[in-house]
């Protein structure tokens, strides 16, 4: 049996950031981080890889280089929880006890949720920016396609980075437009949503690009089956009156975003809410039923946009509240406001910087003269291309919180 005062599950955006935030506040805290993977990915960079702007290598770093100094790495995966005994069970059958637990395992991409998809991924014109090894294929396909039908699909919500399916479409169409090929390529978005984006304020600016690229929007469509060699795709479509029907279509290229769900070991655990996500109080990020447990990142059942930007704001909230509750910090609890961000890459060099919190409230980080989130911005592109990657590696994952508006509190002792 192992014991650590604080145990963090997951070495992704949320897990590394929260471990670093805890260490920044209380350097002598005994923390273990449970993570099976050797590599950590900066997934927000994959849209840029698919658009031919970043090389894949800049989005990957070794896990060992990112786990904060002084944090003990348990290189295994968590299989189960025993919250009443403050214990987690590892896949290697070892148990780890804790005083406080922070859960940040991200979400699971359900590639098998679309019949025929796994067999053809990376071949027959089928690609996805949602995997490190496939994002470069997107750019390859975009460069080689001269004419035909290019489809982009979006699965049921919630998904991580809800804007990513259409970002892939805009960047692809922008390339074809610049190459003079767009007139020969039909661009179509198939989304189960009834609208282009969940927060209305951003829709008008996005629609100017839908019109510029002459992209056809197919709402209420879910990709159910794909036949790569035959280059055909099947969608279930629900009409406004509720009638379901199957639509069959062909493609020359298809960018697929797979259905997404909470990881199985969360869904099957006492931590889950009815939908399978971790049941947290949306403000304090403490578990709804187990006060020794906190959670952040894509796996939580709060209504914020599942983004690394959200995890950036959540990590200091969890670190602060956990240390206050343990008596290591003085002061009141702080609340997460639901902030999430989605830089919508509408063309090479321009971004619509969507930033919003719970209930779709706009939460701009910059004064409107610098970046107005509802308008296209070149400055926002520079932010995404040049600023956000170093901000992620050097500030967020290091517990330096100047962009996360740290909540100040005095340290006791
Ligand atoms: P992750 O970063 O996915 O990390 C989860 C970690 O938990 C992994 O290392 C995994 O190995 C580990 N783990 C899983 N199971 C276990 C287990 N059983 N035991 C122990 N460890 C486990 N966000 C933005 O802010 N802006 C963007 O522009 C943006 N664009 C995106 C584009 C794409 C194509 C994708 C895929 C994502 C994008 N995101 C974006 C979303 C962002 O990457 C995620 O929201 C963020 O990584 C979530 O952090 P997380 O720590 O919850 O999960």
34 CB burial (10 A radius; 0-12, 13-18, 19+): buried
To test the pocket of ligand 1, the residue of 102, 106, 340 to mutate (highest count of ligand atoms within 8 Å of its CB) is: 106
Q: Examine residue 354 and state whether it is found in any structural domain, yes or no.
A: no
Among the residue ranges 165-174, 235-244, 281-290, the one predicted with the least confidence is: 235-244
Q: What is the pLDDT of residues 14-66, one digit of tens each?
A: 999 999 999 999 999 999 999 999 999 999 999 999 999 999 999 999 999 99
Looking at the structure, tell me whether residues 100 and 129 fall in a common domain.
no
Picking from 335, 362, 393, the residue at the C-terminal end of a domain is 335
Q: Are 113 and 274 in contact (CB under 8 A)?
A: no
Looking at the structure, tell me whether residues 233 and 142 fall in a common domain.
yes
Reduced 3-state DSSP string for 25-59: HCCCCCEEEECCCCEEECHHHHHHHHCCCCCHHHH
Looking at the structure, tell me whether residues 47 and 147 fall in a common domain.
no
Q: Examine residue 340 and state whether it is found in any structural domain, yes or no.
A: no
Looking at the structure, tell me whether residues 243 and 269 fall in a common domain.
no
Phi, psi for residue 320 in degrees, rounded to 5: -65, -50
Picking from 259, 291, 315, the residue at the C-terminal end of a domain is 259
Looking at the structure, tell me whether residues 58 and 181 fall in a common domain.
no
Indicate whether this complex's ipTM tops 0.90.
yes
Q: What is the pLDDT of residues 329-377, one digit of tens each?
A: 999 999 999 999 999 999 999 999 999 999 999 999 999 999 999 999 9
Closest CA to 259 of 390, 112, 106, 57: 112
Q: Report the sign of the C-alpha dihedral through residues 290, 408, 356, 164, in that order.
A: negative
To test the pocket of ligand 1, the residue of 17, 105, 363 to mutate (highest count of ligand atoms within 8 Å of its CB) is: 105
Reply yes or no on whether 72 is catalytic. no
> 52 is in which domain, residue-wise?
2-107+262-335
pTM, to two decimals: 0.96
**From atom 40 of ligand 1, which residue's Cα is the shortest distance away?**
44
Three-state SS for 262? coil
Picking from 281, 308, 335, the residue at the C-terminal end of a domain is 335
Pocket of ligand 1 from Cβ distances under 6 Å = 9-15, 34-37, 43-44, 46-47, 77-78, 104-106, 129-130, 160-161, 164, 263, 265, 297-299, 306-309, 311, 341-343
Reply yes or no on whether 342 is catalytic. yes
Looking at the structure, tell me whether residues 220 and 283 fall in a common domain.
no
Residue 238: give its domain's CATH number. 3.50.50.60
Looking at the structure, tell me whether residues 146 and 248 fall in a common domain.
yes
Quote the mean pLDDT of the chain: 95
Q: Examine residue 272 and state whether it is found in any structural domain, yes or no.
A: yes
Looking at the structure, tell me whether residues 116 and 214 fall in a common domain.
yes
Q: Examine residue 402 and state whether it is found in any structural domain, yes or no.
A: no
Q: Examine residue 409 and state whether it is found in any structural domain, yes or no.
A: no
Q: How many domains does the chain have?
A: 2
């Amino acid at each position: 049996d192992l014991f650590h005062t604080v145990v963090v599950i997951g070495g992704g955006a949320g897990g590394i950031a929260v471990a670093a935030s805890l260490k920044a506040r209380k350097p002598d805290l005994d923390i273990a981080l449970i993570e099976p993977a050797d590599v950590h990915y900066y997934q927000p960079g994959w849209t840029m890889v698919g658009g031919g702007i970043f090389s894949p290598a800049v989005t990957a770093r070794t896990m060992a280089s990112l786990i904060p100094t002084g944090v003990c790495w348990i290189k295994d995966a968590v299989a189960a929880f025993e919250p009443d005994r403050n214990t987690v069970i590892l896949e290697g059958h070892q148990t780890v006890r804790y005083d406080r637990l922070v859960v940040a395992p991200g979400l699971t991409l359900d590639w098998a949720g679309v019949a025929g998809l796994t067999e053809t991924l990376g071949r027959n014109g089928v690609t996805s920016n949602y995997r490190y090894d496939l994002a470069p294929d997107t750019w390859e396909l975009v460069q080689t396609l001269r004419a035909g039908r290019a489809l982009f699909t979006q699965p049921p919500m919630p998904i991580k980075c809800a804007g990513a399916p259409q970002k892939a479409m805009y960047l692809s169409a922008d390339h074809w437009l610049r190459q003079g090929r767009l007139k020969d390529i039909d661009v179509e978005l198939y989304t189960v949503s009834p609208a282009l984006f969940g927060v209305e304020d951003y829709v008008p600016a996005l629609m100017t690009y839908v019109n510029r690229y002459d992209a056809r929007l197919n709402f209420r469509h879910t990709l159910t089956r794909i036949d790569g060699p035959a280059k055909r795709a099947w969608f279930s479509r629900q009409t406004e009156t509720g009638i379901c029907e199957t639509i069959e279509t062909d493609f020359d290229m298809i960018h697929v975003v797979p259905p997404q769900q909470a990881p199985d070991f969360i869904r099957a655990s006492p931590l889950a809410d009815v939908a399978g996500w971790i049941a947290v109080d949306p403000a304090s990020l403490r578990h709804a039923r187990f006060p020794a447990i906190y959670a952040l990142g894509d796996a939580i059942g709060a209504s914020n946009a599942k983004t690394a930007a959200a995890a950036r704001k959540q990590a200091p909230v969890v670190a602060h509240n956990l240390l206050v509750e343990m008596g290591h910090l003085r002061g009141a609890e702080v609340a997460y406001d639901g902030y999430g961000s989605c830089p919508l890459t509408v063309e090479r060099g321009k971004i619509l910087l969507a930033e919003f919190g719970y209930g779709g409230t706009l939460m701009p980080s910059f004064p409107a003269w610098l970046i107005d989130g509802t308008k296209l911005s070149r400055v926002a592109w520079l932010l995404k291309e040049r600023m956000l990657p170093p901000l992620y590696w050097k500030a967020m994952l290091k517990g330096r919180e100047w962009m996360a508006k740290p909540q100040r509190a005095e340290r006791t002792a």
